[in-house]
Structure 1
């Protein structure tokens, strides 16, 4: 079926003109033919633009962007058009109709630094896996789990470069299919109020396991949770990771005590009940403060949603906070009372000598080094 058989519309994201199926804009569920395009994922692409720009400004070397699963190429087209320091963009997809529309979008924007590839993603990335030919930034944005592409994604990322990975199999990552999660990510979740953080840490844990096998270290720079997807941005370093950064989140469902640990603990130290365990998963930091500040600085240079700035400000505050967060509803439910204002509980925790901050992962969530009993007391 030819592109002419479909009704194609022109939209603008950032400063880039994109050709997309008209039904992607008018229908609640975007169609898959001739190619899937989700306009509600604009925020996700906005974050990518400022993250990639911030990263490339401080990268000394060739600036090559590889997009393995491009669809209509919205992200790659925006990178090519909006980030002036990029020298070369290559977008790849197996759907020839999607690539044809992407090529038309490239001509519409008069882009000269972009190439197109029609190939299976790992075959595409293997062409860029040799030293001297790797990508500065490698982007993997699949439907569902990225786990099958992590190996080839790491191999195609140059030393000191960035690997960006999306996961959209939320039901698996949130514990509806425990066996599938263990197969894909090497660990299992538990159903708790901070389930999206566990999901992100499972993704990072999976990448850590693959990277460890390849004698590769990575540093998480930024993680994002919005709607139907999770996305992580990592700096890849061609050296073995010496840190013990795989472990467990231990949670007591009776009293609400939780902790991050290298080892499992059978019983809760507070109430004696049997603990629940999520993992193995990543127990290290999820953010890099300097990089977050650079991203925040980049927001003024691009036409991106104001949400980007608000989210990054929260990320900066929580960068050095303990793993796992609490929610107002969770504490109020345990005390059988109404929630208090988020600003108020953070203020009280600070006044009592504890660290506390909002979290970018939940609008009513907060991080603190106070234990659950102290938090209940302050409520």
Structure 2
């Protein structure tokens, strides 16, 4: 690598060489500083997950780029004994070696292999596999399902939001085997389509997948979940698949095992799915996350509230627009719903979104009162 075209970036406890200039997929070695929050959350999640186990961990940073993610895991999570940092790009391979040396980390095995070949060589080996691609994670999930061990964890990023969020539904159907739908809650729907796909892939190997934390942030979705190797766990996960029904006329939404139904307002429901219809957060897991900075603290505070609410997601602006009402503040709507003895919280899926178990009629009533 040409050292003259690189600079040193500090993130977390790591210092790494990265290429300078505009970030594109064609960079000699890909590094995106805007994914720092993703990496911060991932490190915090891996810490909590490791504390839940009683063994030293072996992990895989599958698409390592400059190596910053895997290096941070080794530096910041005490229980990681061994980490495979892999990238098929020969230039990335060289810069990872340089960055591992710069940080003086031990326990790093640096590989220069095609990702699926590497995973296929390590069946049921890893306590944690991190898949952070430029685009869709679909090409890597089948082999990742075989490489993660019982009781292990998967971290999955997707940046192909266009298909998942409903802009390109044909691509989503082709890629994920599910119909996406562009609505006020399209990003939560996209996350649920992705989780549903992960569940279907793992279940084919008699492994169940339980999401512990899922969120969207700007241009990506991030999923963190636990893997259990058992037919009953796989069956339970598959039983959580269904459809999100959505009425474009009145804004009502619900989960169902079926994709065709008539809304109470008389209109036919549109639908998205198949997708995961269960909880996207484990409240005990979320409570254990330790924020690293003020941005993450704000995120975790919302997450902790949301993880305790078993309900549907609504966008406040969309509800107001459909009912020709003035927009209200999210916190005012949440307070009103709680005063009426319903569970409600803000959501990490957007600054105007609310999660609640209240029926739509009560939500509209609260908006009118405010």
- What interval of TM-score do these two structures reach, taking the shorter chain for normalisation? over 0.9
Q: Determine whether 1:171 maps to 2:165.
A: no
**1:233-248 counterparts in 2 under 5 A?**
233-240=224-231, 241-243=234-236, 244-248=239-243
Give the number of equivalent residue pairs.
Answer: 363
Q: Determine whether 1:186 maps to 2:177.
A: yes
Q: Is the 8 A contact 1:154 1:211 kept in 2?
A: yes
Structure 2 distance, partners of 1:46, 1:37, is 15
Structure 2 distance, partners of 1:211, 1:40, is 30
Give the SS at the match of 1:325. Answer: strand
Aligned to 2:186: 195
Aligned to 2:30: 36
What TM-score, normalized to structure 1?
Answer: 0.92
Give the SS at the match of 2:274. Answer: strand
Aligned to 2:352: 364
Cα deviation for residue 336 of structure 1 reads 2.2
Give the SS at the match of 2:305. Answer: helix
Aligned to 1:109: 103
Q: How well do the aligned residues superpose, as a CA RMSD in angstroms?
A: 1.4
Structure 1 distance, partners of 2:303, 2:14, is 28
Cα deviation for residue 106 of structure 1 reads 1.0
Structure 2: which 5+ residue stretches go unaligned? none
Cα deviations by residue, 1:334-366 (Å, 9 ceiling, x for unpaired): 232321121111111111121111111111111
Structure 2 distance, partners of 1:177, 1:129, is 34
What TM-score, normalized to structure 2?
Answer: 0.95
Cα deviations by residue, 1:88-138 (Å, 9 ceiling, x for unpaired): 1111111011121111111111112111011111111112115xxx11110
Structure 1 distance, partners of 2:102, 2:274, is 47
Structure 1: which 5+ residue stretches go unaligned? none
Cα deviation for residue 265 of structure 1 reads 3.2
Q: Is the 8 A contact 2:311 2:357 kept in 1?
A: no
Aligned to 1:4: 2
Structure 2 distance, partners of 1:178, 1:6, is 44
User: Which has the higher mean CA deviation after the structures are superposed, 112-121 or 330-339?
Assistant: 330-339
Cα deviations by residue, 1:120-165 (Å, 9 ceiling, x for unpaired): 11111112115xxx11110111111111211111111111010111
Pick 1 or 2: higher relative contact order, CA cutoff 8 A, min separation 6. 1
Aligned to 2:40: 46
Structure 1 distance, partners of 2:24, 2:145, is 31
**Aligned mate of 1:96, from 82, 90, 98:** 90
Aligned to 1:83: 77
Structure 2 distance, partners of 1:210, 1:68, is 18
Q: Is the 8 A contact 2:82 2:107 kept in 1?
A: yes
Aligned to 1:156: 147
Aligned to 2:300: 312
Aligned to 2:14: 16
Aligned to 2:286: 292
**Aligned mate of 2:49, from 52, 55, 58:** 55
